[in-house]
Amino acid sequence: MPYKIICIIFFSLLFGKPALALPHANPVPGGIALVELPAAGDNIKAYFQKKRLAIVYENNKPYALVGIPLSTRAGKQQLQLKTAQGSQQLAFTVKPKTYKAQYLTIKNKRKVNPYEKDMARINKERKKKNRAKKHWSQQPVHADFITPVKGQISSIFGLRRFFNKQPRRPHSGLDIAAARGTPIHAVADGKVIEAGNFFFSGNMVYIDHGQGLISLYAHMNRIDVKVGDSIRQGQVIGLVGSTGRVTGPHLHLAVIANQTLVDPLLFLDELNPEK
Ligand SMILES: [Zn+2]
């Protein structure tokens, strides 16, 4: 049996369905829009709110993959297209979405109200996170994600969060609860651009999938990759854990497109209840 077929069977058994070519468009704050482009080519650049967009293809048609920030107002929005001929605007519509509140109790109070001496570390890590978020690599985009961990969804993207009754930033990813030590698989081919231990996120890995599309894995028990490593889809990059600010062992998966955190479920056909 050819190696490729064996691999396909293996991944089908592991992850259920074959991977999607493109994510599901859901043009809401925290979602993504797929805006068809009038032309393709290396000299075409697309931007939303001055941030460069990934360009993806389906049936040879080019689309701008637009990550829509949670703070975006519903209504008509524009993206900018720059070509050799000049620039033009393309309109798309953002629909409203209301996110529910979530109240969590964290036993380690220091992770909710850090000590003064923790602040230097937190600020340093914020810079690292921002640098990773802004990473750009000019290469074809790998947007055909697979589910990284077998487990139960324990929290969804965008929930307005309260830790020990104190308001904090909305939930920036998808939580999949699984036993400590469960292997975490890379969602797609890519390259490790950041890996290390962070105050809130615990052991965390960022993988670049091309043109600003990045996956992020947090609270890991163990990291098995390092910055600069080339990763294949499905490769084990570490194990599920409970490092950082958590209530129990789980994988926090986040997806970044055009420097914007978006709902990972739009990329995970198998888990998406709205598909
Ligand atoms: Zn989370």
Contact 184, 238 (CB under 8 A): yes
Which residues are bridge partners to 160 per DSSP? 101
Measured CA to CA, the distance from residue 11 to residue 18 in angstroms comes to 8
Contact 28, 21 (CB under 8 A): no
The answer to the question of residue 62 being in a domain is yes
Dist. CA 232 → ligand 1 center (Å): 24
Residue 138 belongs to domain spanning: 101-267
Answer yes or no: do 171 and 255 share one domain.
Answer: yes
Contact 55, 62 (CB under 8 A): yes
Q: Which residue has the tokens 């519903």?
A: 74
Residue ending a domain, choose from 94, 112, 143: 94
Dist. CA 93 → ligand 1 center (Å): 28
Dist. CA 175 → ligand 1 center (Å): 5
Write down the pTM of the prediction: 0.88
CATH number at residue 111: 2.70.70.10
Query: What is the model's pLDDT at position 12?
Result: 43
Residue ending a domain, choose from 63, 94, 125: 94
For the chain, residues with pLDDT lower than 50 are: 1, 8-20
Number of domains in the chain: 2
Answer yes or no: do 135 and 223 share one domain.
Answer: yes
Answer yes or no: do 132 and 238 share one domain.
Answer: yes
Residue ending a domain, choose from 63, 78, 94: 94
Measured CA to CA, the distance from residue 240 to residue 253 in angstroms comes to 11
Dist. CA 266 → ligand 1 center (Å): 16
Which residues are bridge partners to 214 per DSSP? 208, 256
Measured CA to CA, the distance from residue 186 to residue 149 in angstroms comes to 9
Dist. CA 155 → ligand 1 center (Å): 7
The answer to the question of residue 234 being in a domain is yes
